[in-house]
Amino acid sequence: MNYAAALLAVTLSMVLAQVASAAEMKAILVFGDSLSDGFMLKRSEAYPALLAKKLHAAGLNFQVINASAAGGTTEGGLERLPAHLKHRIDIFILELGINDAFRGLSVDQIQHNLQQIIDRVKARNPNVGIWENVP
């Protein structure tokens, strides 16, 4: 397991312990690029699918929605986001930015776009827990 995956697992376990107290199903939205989409893997082998399996095996009532797109950018994320804001989000995992960097977008613009995504998610879901994994 690489460092980022281990850090994600520890952080999510802390967040999940707080959120999982209610009996109703909670929603985790994974919003990323090819790394979350499962680059060079079957989608069922990507970390969002593995997370869903682990949560289910632990008896936790979570639905993991993988809204990632290979080649995804922060600008593309802003365009894709409205469709996902129609549904409740309890935990939001944001993993965008590296493709912007590869394309030469400034760090300031990447940060601005990421903050807009976060602000829009929080505006619609004020109690959302956010995990941000950016370059």
- Rounded CA separation 123/130 (Å): 13
Kindly list the distances between the CA atom of residue 18 and the CA atoms of 11, 52, 62, 88, in Å, as whole numbers in the listed order: 11, 17, 13, 17
Alpha-carbon distance 26 to 47, whole Å?
18
Q: Which amino acid is at 117?
A: I
CATH of domain 3-132: 3.40.50.1110
pLDDT band, very low/low/confident/very high, at 24 (cuts 50, 70, 90) = confident
pLDDT of 53 above 80: yes
What pLDDT score was predicted for residue 14? 55
Joined together, the tokens standing for residue 68 give 């990632």
pLDDT at 8: 61
1 — pLDDT class (breaks 50, 70, 90): very low
Among residues 26, 45, 27, which one has the least CA distance to residue 35?
Answer: 45
Q: State how far the Cα of 106 lies from the Cα of 83, in Å rounded to an integer.
A: 27
